[in-house]
Amino acid sequence: MTRPAPDPATDPATDPGPTAADGDDTSFPLARTCPFTPPDDYAGMRERADLTRARIPSGKRPWLVTRHEDVRAALSHPAASSDARNPAFPALGDGEQVVAAELRPFIRMDPPDHTLVRRMLVGEFTVRRVRAMRPAIEAVCAEQVEYLLSRPAPADLVADYANRVSTTVICRLLGVPLEDLEFFRRITSISGSRDSTEEEVGAALGELFGLIDRLIDDKAKDPRDDLISRLATGPLARGEITRHSLLSQIGITLNAGHETSRNMIPLAALALLEHPEQLELLREDPQLWPGAVDELLRYLSVADVITLRVATEDIPLSSGTIPAGDGYIALLGAANHDPGAFPEPGRLDVRRTQRNHVAFGYGTHQCVGQNLGRLEIEIALRTLFDRVPTLRSELALADLPARSSSAIFGLDEVPVSW
């Protein structure tokens, strides 16, 4: 076990910036060479005897954790802090840290604050509750696939299907009225982009919060069967959460639930089109679908770089110790493609039976919406391939524009015909 050299620049405020000694730092985030697989350099990092140090756009130098066992250990360690108010927090976008520190969405909180909020939400996403949403999700997908088919070919699988499915499902869950959907779609494309400046993110979130604020008032007076109504008449009415925090928690749930599915659905559809023998297996035996969704989540690992942390104490890992006070990124894609955990990780195999992937993270912050995410992806893909059996991509993989500006990997556009 090799311990990384002690770092004098643990506090970014006093970090002198690039020096000759920093020459070996890996510039991060790295681009994917194939839209399906995490960056090639992760393989080398996993095999190195020690941890890799990155330099991210803010100039900070977090450690990169890449092995499957290390990623799980680094995310479940009690000293793993998600608190974005810590100056060492390795946010990738300029606006992200300021906004997260101010709004304090629970994805960027530590226990016990995190625990209180998570408890309020977890009941909304139980297997039972999500299962009850199946008919509604099927109806949304059926409607949106007809919309796709109504477009002149080539249509865009992202804008004309996946984005419409994911925004409609999450807005229904929360109780955002359909007439606010377009507004919501516009705002999330700004707030979810790493290219957006701090001012742009701030303005977009201000507008989004205006909408949620109004909905909280409406639903407190006239509650319906939706998440915002339950939180407004429950924890908010009882004084268990402030209005400011409630706004943030609804905002992050909207965003996290929308952006991930929006990016996963087209990428997963493409992956199956590129592996027709796997799609054929699913056509022959639809019972394989739930397992296939987990395999696609592992294989594509769209939330690869979302798991940003600061070590509040030394965190020992097989590849070295993250020193107390340092930021680190637990790379989910690197873990999900670790050959030590998944034989032939670069092979898409819908019959793979292992379920220990970390596409939804691991530990305290493991995705609260994972049951919904799985179901939504499954129904969206099944509906698409059942209704459009002749679906084909119009562009070669290498020509598809990657959406590198978002914290969640995806493609900007996927032109398809049928």
Catalytic residue among 261, 319, 393, 406: 261
Of the listed pieces 63-71, 207-215, 369-377, 397-405, which binds ligand HEM according to CB under 6 A?
A: 369-377
- Applying CB under 6 A, among 256, 311, 341, 350 the residue interacting with ligand HEM is 256
Q: Is 111 or 206 the residue whose CB approaches ligand HEM more closely?
A: 111
**Contact between 253 and ligand HEM per CB under 6 A:** yes
**Which one of 359, 391, 414, 416 is in contact with ligand HEM (CB under 6 A)?**
359
Give how far the C-alpha of residue 146 lies from the chain's centroid of Cα atoms, to the nearest Å. 27
Nearer to ligand HEM, 302 or 400 (CB): 302
Judge whether 334 counts as a catalytic residue.
no
Identify the DSSP state of 305.
T
Annotated catalytic residue 259: yes
CB atoms within 10 A of CB 198: 14
Of 103 and 332, the one with the shorter C-beta distance to ligand HEM is: 332
Task: Show the tokens assigned to 328.
Answer: 């680190």
Q: Quote the CA–CA distance of 259 and 166 in Å, as a whole number.
A: 8
Contact 292, 260 (CB under 8 A): no
CA distance 165 to 103: 27
Q: Does 360 bind ligand HEM (CB under 6 A)?
A: yes
CA-to-CA dists, residue 401 to 58, 157, 395, angstroms: 25, 13, 10
Of 234 and 276, the one with the shorter C-beta distance to ligand HEM is 234
Look up residue 103 and give its two tokens: 């709004």
Structure tokens of 49?
A: 């005897």
Q: How many CB atoms lie within 10 A of CB 193?
A: 20
Longest dimension (CA), the chain: 63
Asked if 188 is part of the footprint of ligand HEM (rule: CB under 6 A), the reply reads no
- Which of these, 295, 315, 248, 302, lies nearest to 114 by C-alpha position? 248
| CA 230 – CA 241 distance, rounded (Å) | 13
For ligand HEM, the closer CB: 114 or 352: 114
d(CA 3, CA 134): 49
Residue 367 as a binder of ligand HEM (CB under 6 A): the answer is: yes
Q: How many CB atoms lie within 10 A of CB 377?
A: 25
Of the ranges 11-19, 151-159, 259-267, 271-279, which one interacts with ligand HEM (CB under 6 A)? 259-267
Q: Which of 181, 347, 203, 176 is nearest to 275 (CA)?
A: 347
The question of whether 367 is a catalytic residue gets the answer yes
Minimum distance, C-beta of residue 212 to ligand HEM, in the bound complex (Å)? 14
Site string for ligand HEM, 375-404 (x = CB under 6 A): --x---------------------------
The CA distance from 411 to 186, in Å, is: 17
Contacts of 78 (CB under 8 A, 6+ apart): none
Q: Give me the catalytic one of 96, 124, 295, 376.
A: 376
Among 264, 292, 334, 411, binds ligand HEM (CB under 6 A): 264
Query: Which CB sits closer to ligand HEM, 9 or 246?
Result: 246
Q: Which of 38, 93, 323, 373 binds ligand HEM (CB under 6 A)?
A: 373
Q: Does 319 bind ligand HEM (CB under 6 A)?
A: no
Is residue 261 a contact residue for ligand HEM (CB under 6 A)?
A: yes
The residues that are catalytic are: 256, 259, 261, 367, 376
**Contact residues for ligand HEM (CB under 6 A)?**
82, 106-107, 118, 170, 252-253, 256-257, 260-261, 264, 297, 302-303, 306-307, 332, 359-361, 365, 367-369, 372-373, 377
